[in-house]
Structure 1
Amino acid sequence: MKDHHQHELDSRYRRAALPPLGALRCFEAAARLGSFTQAARELHLTHGAVSRAVRSIEDALAVELFERRSQRVFLTAAGERLRDAAGAAFDVLAAAVRELREPPGAPALVLSCEPTLLMRWLIPRLPGFHARHPGIALRLVAGGGPVEFDGVDLAIRRDDFDWGRRVHAQRLFEERVGPVCSAGYRQQHLQGQGRGARWDDGAALLHSATRPGAWADWSRAARRRLPAGQNQSFEHFYFSLQAAVAGVGVAIGPWQLVRDDIDAGVLVAPMGFLADGSAYHLLSPRPIQAGSVGAQLLAWLCEQA
């Protein structure tokens, strides 16, 4: 087992391997705005400076982040993955900076949330919470599994483990899942319509190490045969969803994690969604008192579901 010193060394190594923060900032702006020129304008830099910063990341990672065609740039699958990760990281940094700049007041409410739910569902809705409750300082941390509530006030978790008798839980929403893919992939690999629709055997099923049984569970619940095509596994559930966006294959997508992409037309869910028997809850070390900051957060979370 690694000791604390070894963990600290590993953490320093991982951080040292990151591209420079300034270059990542240039890339994030260009990816978000879809234009090097607009990114340069936002960051008060020259077009050449932004282009060189992006190129330095591509050289360091040995991947193409943008396709450059006819004076325009388009994100590659790798670029989309880095865009989402960088955007989430800068959102967390911005929230921390905002908290530091605010005058001292009530301590921030620390909310732990499973990483994929945090990035794909909670953070995109965070501006609405700040608009509704400008006086509540909320600090978000990524985490999964059992919660010790040591430095954490509340936690959002799926009930796929025993959190113990001393933990109080407030149900937020049930988990509903279904196959998701890009519109183009659907046209290529889905045959038939409605209940008769089925994936052809050339469809690639995207799996993740964090939910290894997702496809088998869906197959049993939906009473549908899985295609005999190739399978591809990813280390994290988030990556399998990003691969689906990129047109690599079909992933099992929980409704709350893919609803924004479906609304935007980035993903489609041709077979709909069904409850898998689990649900997400807001966990606390003691009952949430009516009128408290925790109660206001709980009410807002339930609205978002």
Structure 2
Amino acid sequence: MLKRISLNSFKFFYYVAMYESVTIASEKLFVTQGAVSRQIKNIEDGLNCKLFIRKGKTLELTNEGLLLLNCCQSIFHEIDKCLIKLDNKQADIEDLVISCESTLCMKWLIPRIKNFNDLNSGFELKIITNDGVINFGDVDIAIRRNDFHWKEHIYSLKLMDEIMFFVQSPSKKTEDILISSSRQKFWGSLLKINHISDKITQLNYKELDHFYLCIEACLSGLGSTIVSGYMVEKYLENGQLQPVAEPFLDGSSYYMLSAAPLEEDYRKIVFRNWLTKELNNSQNDLEKYFNIKKRI
């Protein structure tokens, strides 16, 4: 018979899994690191399995840990929905304003908004596309790559590693490669990746202003391009685009940013839980094209 484990213990596990750190989890929960570690050990002893393995300065979930995280996300999401419904001021709940990089927003986030609305969480999302400075006076949450430095007082949560795909139209192959000028030093970084540089140096380099334009031009057969896999997931799935080479991690990641702790706002918690679940689904779909283990 399994040992009964308190819901509070699962909360401790959930925070460690989300932040990949006992230290950060203890700060968020306002308890000592020792208290967090003891709770994790109690769960592992009760379930008779390891939930984390240490890699450098971060903790990585085991397969059992990933399974438990998915369960916790579902459970806590339902609790958050219940609390919103019980809130006497539910009618006054405002839209959650999300600022997201433009191409990621158009190609990944917006097509999934209906999935969020189907949750009937008591509020709606208002999406703003912005690649520049974040004004948290007008924005509740921002989704950004970590290619710039945000201020120390900004709360951050890692969402996923960037996965780059070298793609082309299967029916309209050309000798041109379309590169976005919106990401600084992008071409130079590609030349340092052996299995990519060997291919792109043989092509005619053409620069466009944004990843969105590169994707649309690639779909039209004007050239191949290198973009985030999250931006072209549906085109890979329906066969409009195909990989030219093995996908790769470029060392950057996407983060959720907030001026205040996510835990202080039910809307942010609900959105975070939904977003991480959708990202897990996307990563599972993209895994058929490569053999790299990734974490959210």
How far did 1:290 drift? Answer: 6.8
Q: Which residue of 2 aligns with 1:124?
A: 111
Q: Which residue of 2 aligns with 1:140?
A: 127
Equivalent positions of 1:112-191 (< 5 A) are 112-185=99-172, 188=173
Q: CA offsets, 1:130-164, max 9 Å, x none?
A: 01234222111111233220111111001000011
How far did 1:236 drift? Answer: 1.5
Q: Which residue of 1 aligns with 2:188?
A: 216
Q: CA offsets, 1:9-52, max 9 Å, x none?
A: xxxxxxxxxxxxxxxxxxxxxxxxxxxxxxxxxxxxxxxxxxxx
Do the aligned residues in 2 keep the contact of 1:182 with 1:267 (CA within 8 Å)?
yes
Q: Which residue of 2 aligns with 1:207?
A: 179
1:277 and 2:264 aligned: no
* Residues 266-275 or 116-125, more deviating: 266-275
Q: Provide the rounded CA distance (Å) in 1 between the counterparts of 2:231 and 2:270.
A: 23
Q: Provide the rounded CA distance (Å) in 1 between the counterparts of 2:218 and 2:205.
A: 13
Normalising by structure 1, report the TM-score. 0.58
Question: Which blocks of at least 5 consecutive residues in structure 2 are unaligned?
Answer: 1-89, 280-296
* Residues 234-243 or 219-228, more deviating: 219-228
Q: CA RMSD in A?
A: 2.0
- For 2:165, the aligned partner's letter is G
Cα pair distance change 1:261/1:280, threshold 3 Å: same
What is the SS of the residue equivalent to 2:111? Answer: helix
Q: Provide the rounded CA distance (Å) in 1 between the counterparts of 2:141 and 2:202.
A: 43
- For 2:222, the aligned partner's letter is V
Q: Provide the rounded CA distance (Å) in 2 between the counterparts of 1:297 and 1:154.
A: 10
Do the aligned residues in 2 keep the contact of 1:178 with 1:218 (CA within 8 Å)?
no
Q: Provide the rounded CA distance (Å) in 1 between the counterparts of 2:256 and 2:176.
A: 35
Q: Which residue of 1 aligns with 2:213?
A: 239
Q: Provide the rounded CA distance (Å) in 1 between the counterparts of 2:246 and 2:228.
A: 10
How far did 1:265 drift? Answer: 0.9
Pick aligned residue for 2:267 from 293, 297, 300: 293
Cα pair distance change 1:152/1:209, threshold 3 Å: same
How far did 1:301 drift? Answer: 0.9
Do the aligned residues in 1 keep the contact of 2:211 with 2:227 (CA within 8 Å)?
no
Q: Provide the rounded CA distance (Å) in 1 between the counterparts of 2:131 and 2:145.
A: 9
Q: Provide the rounded CA distance (Å) in 2 between the counterparts of 1:233 and 1:280.
A: 24
Equivalent positions of 1:67-86 (< 5 A) are none
Q: Provide the rounded CA distance (Å) in 1 between the counterparts of 2:185 and 2:93.
A: 43
What is the SS of the residue equivalent to 1:239? Answer: helix
> What is the number of equivalent residue pairs in this alignment?
188
Q: CA offsets, 1:76-120, max 9 Å, x none?
A: xxxxxxxxxxxxxxxxxxxxxxxxxxx963111111111111100
Do the aligned residues in 1 keep the contact of 2:178 with 2:206 (CA within 8 Å)?
yes
Do the aligned residues in 2 keep the contact of 1:145 with 1:161 (CA within 8 Å)?
no
Pick aligned residue for 1:255 from 208, 212, 229: 229
What is the SS of the residue equivalent to 1:260? Answer: helix
How far did 1:184 drift? Answer: 1.9
Q: CA offsets, 1:186-226, max 9 Å, x none?
A: xx56xxxxxxxxxxxxx211012202533432331344323
Q: Provide the rounded CA distance (Å) in 2 between the counterparts of 1:222 and 1:300.
A: 37
Do the aligned residues in 1 keep the contact of 2:104 with 2:231 (CA within 8 Å)?
yes
Q: Which residue of 2 aligns with 1:38?
A: none
Cα pair distance change 1:291/1:153, threshold 3 Å: closer
Normalising by structure 2, report the TM-score. 0.60
Q: Which residue of 2 aligns with 1:107?
A: 94
- For 2:278, the aligned partner's letter is Q
Cα pair distance change 1:229/1:272, threshold 3 Å: closer
